[in-house]
Amino acid sequence: MVGQERFEPMMDVLRALAEPTRLRLVWALSTREYSVGELAELVGANVAAVSQHLARLREAGMVDSRRDGTRIFYRAATPHLADLLDQLVVVGGHVSGELDLPRPATPAAPAAVAAARRTAPSRSRPAGSRPRTAET
């Protein structure tokens, strides 16, 4: 039997991504590096709140930072983070029926994501419902 301690790092990642603002930050950082101010503007939050979220993501090992003068820039700690987000799109798409949530300036999606988009069963949404996006 696998001990619970083996799952803790995975649970840390899932807990960090479970907060909507942090998920949006990771989504942005999976494509390029941003300053704290740019990220605050991007997610519509104040710099102090974004800094707190980034500290939590850094504790979870998901983001790295570098200082350039007085500015701090953040980036994804691993290229595997983009892969994780791509898989979340696939799984979330199967749950919601909506499979199109591209990250800006993202290189071509991995073959698994492209294949899932081609072969996913079409689901109709209830009348008047909107597709889910990163903001909802």
- What are the extents of the domains in the chain? 4-76, 80-119
- Predicted confidence at residue 98, as pLDDT, reads 66
Residues of the chain with pLDDT under 50: 106-136
Q: Number of helices (H) and strands (E), helices first, in the chain?
A: 6, 3
Residues 113, 89 contacting (CB under 8 angstroms): yes
pLDDT of residue 35: 96
User: Residue 117: which of 102, 134, 135 has the closest Cα?
Assistant: 102
- pLDDT given for residue 90 in this prediction: 83
Model's pTM, two decimal places?
Answer: 0.67
Strands (DSSP E) along the chain, which ranges? Answer: 34-35, 63-68, 71-76
CA distance linking residue 40 with residue 102, whole number of Å? 21
Fold classified for 4-76: Arc Repressor Mutant, subunit A (1.10.10)
The pLDDT score that the predictor gives to residue 34 is 97
Report the pLDDT value the prediction gives residue 99, as an integer from 0 to 100: 57
* pLDDT value, residue 103: 53
Residues 6+ apart with CB under 8 A from 90: 99, 112, 113, 116
Residues 27-56 pLDDT 10s:
999 999 999 999 999 999 999 999 999 999
Query: How large is the C-alpha radius of gyration of the chain?
Result: 16
Quote the tokens at residue 96.
């919601």
CA end-to-end span of the chain, whole Å? 38
User: What is the pLDDT at residue 2?
Assistant: 74
CA–CA separation, 60 vs 58, rounded Å? 5
Beta bridge partners of 63: 76
